Structure 1
Amino acid sequence: MNPLNLPFDSDAMLEGLRPWIECESPTWDAGAVSRMMALAARDLADAGAEVETIPGTGGFGDSLRASFPHPDRGRPGILVSGHMDTVHPVGTLEKLPFRVEDRLAYGPGIMDMKGGNYVMLEAMRQILRAGLQTPLPVTFLFTPDEEVGTPATRGLIEDAARGQRAVLVPEPASADGGAVIGRYAIARFELLTEGRPSHAGWALKDGRSAIAAMARKILEIEAMTTEDCTFSVGVIHAGQWVNCVSSECRAEVLSMAKTQADLDRGVAAMEALQGEADGVAFTVTRGVTRPVWEPGPGTMQLYDLAKGLAADIGFQLGCGSAGGGSDGNFTGAMGVPTLDSIGVRGKGLHTLTEHIEIDSLAERARLAAGLLMNIR
């Protein structure tokens, strides 16, 4: 049987996906992420997989490793790598409830990336129901910390990918529906300003405001942005009392670089900002980094296969390198053939308008099934 003709039904898939969306799982809530993993574990087991729950570390939730039955289990095969954490805090469902409108489905994490994860699960479910056997063994790995740079599970992902024939990453499709065959480097930095406290009413001039100093540094940092290396401050923590001159302020910076050389220059520029001025010390600490992933021959062969399958399904699958990191950075940089962003179509990821095109569920499940049945 042609895997592209398996009976995928977008509306039925959406009903199966809905409980995943209504199980909120923000990265920093380990219990919530682990509840999501337990839900996915049940669905994976029902589909026929042998599921292992890997306890969380570093304050993050659990991970899942699921192996589907295969006579060559344990040999090099296909790894499906996805994350179940989202950027949406618990309670987001009140503002962004699961709903369907004009063939769009809304909800926190539905695009990034629970929809894509569910698509891969449904592809395996239909393959097994049809009595088909994938040429290679298939393993799923779902992790809990991608949205903060994968600090706890990078090693788990790299160990799972090492020696595999292919890694499929069902992150959401690019704006034009295309796949990603390479990604820019992503670096994170933690900033700290340390000033001198004083009473903001009685002795304002005696203080040295860490908040004011950080504000000036933020403007300086974001002004360093170029086409090849960007800087964005996304988190600030400071102050408890408005009548106190702040003595400490912390912030976090995300930097994207197109090449390793661009990244090295960006890191050097950030570190050069450190020092003390007007009684306030400024410290830069480098955080987690995603390496540059440049497509090799194996990745391009995967893309050519996917492109041909997409044409048979009835759509064009473009490709390109992308900013915005994923766990594909790690596997691609290792040299393992990796095809990223083959998940659902949609818009508004990380916002209160996050949604998917419902009809893309069946479209992408057919693509996934085609890949799983044709990668050798």
Structure 2
Amino acid sequence: MNPAALPFDTDAMLAGLKRWVEAESPTFDILAVNRMMDIASADLAAAGARIERIPGPPGLGDCVRAEFPHPRSGEPGILLMSHLDTVHPVGTLEKLPFRRENGRCYGPGILDMKGGAYASLEAVVQLARAGIETPLPISVLLTSDEEIGSPGTRDLIMSEARQHRYVLVPEPGKPGNGVVTGRYAIARFNLLAEGRPSHAGAALKEGRSAINAMARQLLAIEAMTDEDCTFSVGVIEGGRWVNCVPTTCRAEALSMAKRQADLDRGVERMLALSVRNPDGTRFTVTRGVTRPVWEPDEETMAVYEVAKGVARDLGFDLPHGSAGGGSDANFTGAAGIPSLDGLGLLGAGYHTLEEHIEVESLAERSRLIAGLLHRLT
């Protein structure tokens, strides 16, 4: 089977993808995420899949498991794994509307990773329409909390992945038209500064500002960044009344390293920042979700070689490498399950108001995925 012969229609695919992108689905908006899962479930069912809706973790949206008909159904096969939550709040479409211009298509979550998820579904659809049966059965897992580190779905991800021979993840493609064969380690931290209250106008000196304490710690945390391990703070919240010295301030920090040992040292440094001062004020660091480093093994590289062969037949090179930024392949790859990531669309600006895909990559990456599904045995 030559994947180049499959009749992917870019315009028709963009029309279908538009529905997904315009169903805004930020992680913490349960109703919005579930509306997105409704749309994806309907499209999967229309493609012939058997759908199972899985209630979401507490406070989060549902997940979807889908299985396509196959003579070897129930045997270990291929898991297409995607997340449909995004970092963009509902209303982002007003600033970042779905639009196509100059070879690009823009929209919230279009690159990370609704475009890749949609492309992988279209790959299965085109194989079925052409009457081409894959050697292995194909299943799909759509999750709802990847953007916050998958705290509620990790067990589901691993349970599902262990039932399959391969895991394919259509996260955004690596710059240079590549794929991802490894991921850096990532740790999240919850920060809490506790001060002492007073009236900000009448008795300012009697108070101890939690916001002030947090600000000083944030500067210290980000200054810890070096070549081996990075530290950043992305969320902060504190105080309620401007005329009160704030007694609490909360923040969230992220640390990333290429090697697990470097991340482990970074974790130690972060946890060592916890302190209780003589005046009763405190700064506390607690560890949040951690994604282990994923270093490619022989089996992952064997999957990559198959993909590289498909790309060669399609007329392009397929470089590979490790990448920063976490994905659920951190879990599956680190557990030794042959995984290939970064199979999704090409583009730039994800997590920003310039998020876009390269339109040409929509059909190209769908053909790559279709060829891989057909050749993995």
Tell me the TM-score normalised to structure 1 length: 0.99
Is residue 248 from structure 1 mapped to residue 248 from structure 2 by the alignment?
Answer: yes
Matched with 2:192 is 192
* Corresponding pairs, count: 376
Alignment check: 8 A CA contact 1:30 1:60 kept = yes
How big is the shift at 1:4? 3.1
How big is the shift at 1:2? 2.5
Matched with 1:99 is 99
How big is the shift at 1:278? 6.5
Matched with 1:87 is 87
- What are the residue-to-residue correspondences of 1:215-364 with 2, within 5 Å? 215-277=215-277, 279=279, 280-364=281-365
Alignment check: 8 A CA contact 1:10 1:360 kept = no
How big is the shift at 1:92? 0.4
1:138-173 CA deviation, whole Å, 9 max, x = no partner?
Answer: 000000000000011011110111042210000001
CA distance in structure 2 between the partners assigned to 1:277 and 1:229 by the alignment = 28
CA distance in structure 1 between the partners assigned to 2:260 and 2:254 by the alignment = 16
Matched with 2:158 is 158
CA distance in structure 2 between the partners assigned to 1:224 and 1:56 by the alignment = 36
1:15-66 CA deviation, whole Å, 9 max, x = no partner?
Answer: 1110000000000001100110010000001011111111112211010101
CA distance in structure 1 between the partners assigned to 2:69 and 2:179 by the alignment = 28
CA RMSD of aligned residues (A): 0.9
Alignment check: 8 A CA contact 1:163 1:336 kept = no
CA distance in structure 2 between the partners assigned to 1:245 and 1:358 by the alignment = 52
CA distance in structure 2 between the partners assigned to 1:90 and 1:374 by the alignment = 40
CA distance in structure 2 between the partners assigned to 1:343 and 1:19 by the alignment = 18
CA distance in structure 2 between the partners assigned to 1:282 and 1:190 by the alignment = 11
CA distance in structure 2 between the partners assigned to 1:272 and 1:2 by the alignment = 56
The DSSP-based 3-state class of the residue aligned with 1:369 is: helix
CA distance in structure 2 between the partners assigned to 1:203 and 1:10 by the alignment = 66
Matched with 2:14 is 14
Worse overlay, 135-144 or 300-309: 300-309
The DSSP-based 3-state class of the residue aligned with 1:245 is: coil
Provide structure 2 residue ranges, at least 5 long, that are not aligned to the other structure. none
Amino acid at match of 1:107: G
CA distance in structure 1 between the partners assigned to 2:11 and 2:73 by the alignment = 33
How big is the shift at 1:230? 0.6
The DSSP-based 3-state class of the residue aligned with 1:285 is: strand
Matched with 2:136 is 136
Matched with 1:149 is 149
CA distance in structure 2 between the partners assigned to 1:271 and 1:327 by the alignment = 25
The DSSP-based 3-state class of the residue aligned with 1:199 is: coil
CA distance in structure 1 between the partners assigned to 2:260 and 2:173 by the alignment = 25
CA distance in structure 1 between the partners assigned to 2:261 and 2:2 by the alignment = 46
Amino acid at match of 1:36: M
Matched with 1:67 is 67
Could you tell me the percent identity over the aligned residues?
65
1:238-291 CA deviation, whole Å, 9 max, x = no partner?
Answer: 011111110000000011021121111011101111113463200011001111
Amino acid at match of 1:9: D
Provide structure 1 residue ranges, at least 5 long, that are not aligned to the other structure. none
CA distance in structure 2 between the partners assigned to 1:32 and 1:227 by the alignment = 39
Alignment check: 8 A CA contact 1:4 1:369 kept = no
Amino acid at match of 1:350: H
How big is the shift at 1:12? 1.4
Is residue 201 from structure 1 mapped to residue 201 from structure 2 by the alignment?
Answer: yes
Amino acid at match of 2:67: S
How big is the shift at 1:10? 1.5
